[in-house]
Amino acid sequence: MKRKNQLLVAACGLLLASCGTGVKKTPSGIEYIVHKSGSGAQLKLGDTVLLNVAQRLNDSVINESRKIVGAPIPVLISKPQNKFDLMEGIALLHEGDSATFVIPWDSIPAQERPPFGKKGDKLKITFAIENVFSASKQKEKDEKQIKEYLEKNKINATKNAEGVYVAVTQEGTGNTPNAGDTVVVHYTGKLTSGKVFDSSLDSTLRPGMPLEPIKFPIGRGFVIKGWDAGLSGLKKGSKATLVIPSTLAYGLQGSPPAIPANSILVFDVQLVDIKAGAPAPAPTPAPAPVAAPAAKK
């Protein structure tokens, strides 16, 4: 029986070690514990990672990004700037890892300390690494999700040259807008889940604001790229649904809290009016090169 107990203790020790439950230290001395070991590659400088963050003071939860943002947040791995810069710690992790870093409250520079806590307290920050962002993989993911969305909702849309899927439900008349023209647009924006995040036609989403269409010069970068690309092919009076991949919307940053990172956006739009604008200014010609003075003989 004693032999069996010894084997059981040894096995438990190996299991704990493999799970990374022991306290470790970064090169600069930050203590951390890996709760879960992922199977992905180790992170490196220049990677953009999607992660969830939870902060605690001792054992009291301060905030959790998942509850605030509703989705993983993007973080660019860069060189640490000071001793307790957690970039150093994050760069030690792998895709799929979950780890908590412990920083003594009184070791944080006074101007950077949270407005609570006291000497002896510990700030505990947990990072759960979901994955490393890849623009090409995200584009593939968007395409797959858009096609599934269109099929599920029986939307007959055509992908234009810029990558926006456009389904015209009511054809307008006249010409399409030129770059610089002011377009007047009613819209309702939603996620592929169906959750509406904004509308020019719903007072509950804009309390206290008048219900009126948005006006802006098209093709001048005043709106997300997907709007410029989708509206430029519509005629005055047209109604359409625009399905915009995340790369032409708010991308990796999202627009928290309403629009999570890498969200495909769906807009039901009506191009109410087109007002001619000034043509784009001609590019300024580069100055002619000045001839070098002739050498004296």
Q: What residues are labeled active site? A: 187, 197-198, 224, 250, 267
CA distance 17 to 37: 11
Phi, psi (5° rounding) for residue 242?
-110, 125
Element (H, E) at 198: strand 196-199
Beta strands at 122-132 and 48-57: parallel, antiparallel or unpaired: antiparallel
Cβ–Cβ < 8 Å for 242, 215: no
154-193: string of b/e by CB count within 10 Å (b at 16+)?
eeebeeeeebbbbbbeeebeeebbeeebbbbbbbbbeebe
What is the bridge-based pairing of β-strands 48-57 and 60-64? Answer: antiparallel
CB 84 within 8 A of CB 62: no
